Structure formats: structure tokens, C-alpha cells
């Protein structure tokens, strides 16, 4: 009579033990294979990601110190005639733009690089005949995707963060332009509907600034700033 408790091995034949061992080692080897496959896949994904990131242009600055760039940048409204701005430089500016801080990392900014002379003229007209917009070899229109902004943060996303994100990107572009020997000017005075028509923008893409870009024709005067004491309050 078999014992009520204890190992059943007494009833197991040697061939079934062999089968069990084989089965266990098979299971072990498949899980090992799975483990290594997932690791290899993860490594492949990391390598691909790094390659993609490396392919994307990253802003590499010029020779100036940051504070020098901040201090010396000025709005440029006259550009050297016939001196084109290469695509590589424009891409550097855009790469600097997208390094700006952005609410929730939503990156609602959108950039429209306008090279077409007729479109630039139309933009200048939409900007109440600020002709230097048409004179610049390149005009970048910075816009915000309001749908994406409000999906992320509702009214505040649409009315505040979208404007702040794009403003931060614009400032990066202006500083990078100066650093690279280019000139630009933040143009905010324009009729939004006309600019949207010129670029064929859908209603949820709001144009917020036009940045004419070119090589400066001479140095303009930097308008003086108020004293810090006029604009700063220290709360102690």
C-alpha cells in the first residue's frame, strides 16, 4: 500500500525522470533565449534611437560667450543684399529654437520657413508694410498648435503656455542668429488672418511672430534698457 504522504518517486520510472529533466532544461533554455533576445532587442533599439538623434541637427554655437550674445544682440532691419542664408544656418537656428523650455514638453511650436519672394512680400504686407520682412533672404514664421496646447492644458495651455513656449523658442532663435553672425528682428505687428491666408494655415495653427533672417547691413544702435532698479522689486 503506497504511503499517504511523501514523494511519489517510488512510483516514477527512470525514463519519465529523464523526460522531466529534458523538459525542465528545455524550459530553462527557452527562458534564457527569451531573456537574451529581449536584451539584444533593447540594445538594438537604443542604437537606432541614438542614430536618429544624431541625425537631427543639434545647435552648435559660434564663438561668443552667452552673456556677450545676450548683451550685444539687437534687432536688425536691414540686410546685406544678395547674401543668401544657407539651409544649414537656418537649420541651426531652428535647432536652437526647439531647445527652449516648453510646458509639459508639449512643443506646440510650429515653424514655417519662407524663402519664396512672393510669399515674403505678402508677409511684409500682412505686417502692415514692414518691407524689411520681404528684403530678408529668409523669413521664419513661428506659430503654435492651439489644439495640441488645449488638449494638454486646456484654456491655460492655449492662452498662456502656447505663447510662452513660442516666445522662448523665438528668443533662442534670435540669440543663435546673432551668435552665427546673422541678424533678425522679432516682428509681432501683423494681421494674423492675413498671415494665415498667405501660409494656408488651418485655424488651430496661430502665427505669433515673423522672424526675417539675413546678414546684417551695418550695425544698428541698441536701444537703452531701463535700470534694474526701475523694474525689479526685491522682497526680503
# residues contacting ligand FMN (CB under 6 A) = 11
The three three-digit cell numbers of residue 211, written as one number? 522672424
75 contributes a contact to ligand FMN by CB under 6 A: yes
C-beta of 59 vs 132, nearer to ligand FMN: 132
- Which residues fall within 8 angstroms of residue 141, CB to CB, at 6 or more apart? 111, 112, 114, 123, 195, 199, 207, 209, 210, 211
User: In this structure, what C-alpha cell is assigned to residue 228?
Assistant: 534694474
Q: Is 74 in the site for ligand FMN (CB under 6 A)?
A: yes
Question: Looking only at residues 206 through 235 of this chain, which bind ligand FMN when binding is defined by CB under 6 A?
Answer: 222-223
Q: What are the residues facing 112 on neighbouring strands?
A: 141
In the complex, the smallest distance separating the C-beta of residue 127 from ligand FMN, rounded to whole angstroms, is: 6
Least CB distance to ligand FMN at residue 53 (A): 32
Go through 39-77 and write b for each residue having 16 or more CB atoms within 10 A of its CB, e for each that does not.
Answer: eeeeeeeeeeeeeeeeeeeebeeeebeeeebeeebbebb
Return the residue nearest ligand FMN (CB atom).
188
In the complex with ligand FMN, which residue's Cβ is closer, 154 or 188?
A: 188
Q: What residues make contact with ligand FMN under the rule CB under 6 A?
A: 74-75, 77, 130, 185-189, 222-223
Amino acid at each position: 500500500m503506497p504511503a499517504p504522504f511523501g514523494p511519489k518517486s517510488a512510483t516514477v520510472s527512470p525514463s519519465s525522470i529523464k523526460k522531466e529533466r529534458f523538459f525542465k532544461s528545455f524550459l530553462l533554455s527557452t527562458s534564457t533565449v527569451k531573456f537574451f533576445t529581449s536584451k539584444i532587442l533593447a540594445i538594438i533599439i537604443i542604437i537606432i534611437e541614438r542614430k536618429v538623434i544624431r541625425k537631427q541637427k543639434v545647435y552648435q554655437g559660434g564663438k561668443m560667450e552667452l552673456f556677450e550674445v545676450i548683451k550685444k544682440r539687437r534687432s536688425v532691419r536691414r540686410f546685406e543684399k544678395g547674401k543668401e542664408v544657407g539651409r544649414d544656418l537656418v537649420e541651426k537656428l531652428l535647432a536652437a529654437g526647439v531647445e527652449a523650455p516648453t510646458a509639459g514638453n508639449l512643443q506646440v511650436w510650429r515653424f514655417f520657413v519662407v524663402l519664396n519672394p512672393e510669399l515674403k512680400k505678402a508677409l511684409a504686407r500682412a505686417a502692415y508694410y514692414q518691407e524689411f520682412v520681404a528684403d530678408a533672404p529668409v523669413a521664419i514664421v513661428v506659430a503654435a498648435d492651439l489644439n495640441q496646447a488645449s488638449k494638454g492644458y486646456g484654456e491655460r495651455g492655449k492662452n498662456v503656455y502656447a505663447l510662452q513656449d513660442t516666445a522662448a523658442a523665438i528668443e533662442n532663435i534670435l540669440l543663435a542668429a546673432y551668435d552665427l553672425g546673422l541678424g533678425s528682428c522679432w516682428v509681432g505687428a501683423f494681421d494674423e488672418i492675413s498671415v494665415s491666408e498667405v501660409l494656408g494655415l488651418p485655424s488651430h495653427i496661430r502665427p505669433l511672430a515673423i522672424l526675417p533672417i539675413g546678414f546684417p547691413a551695418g550695425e544698428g544702435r541698441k536701444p537703452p534698457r531701463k535700470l534694474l532698479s526701475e523694474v525689479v522689486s526685491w522682497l526680503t
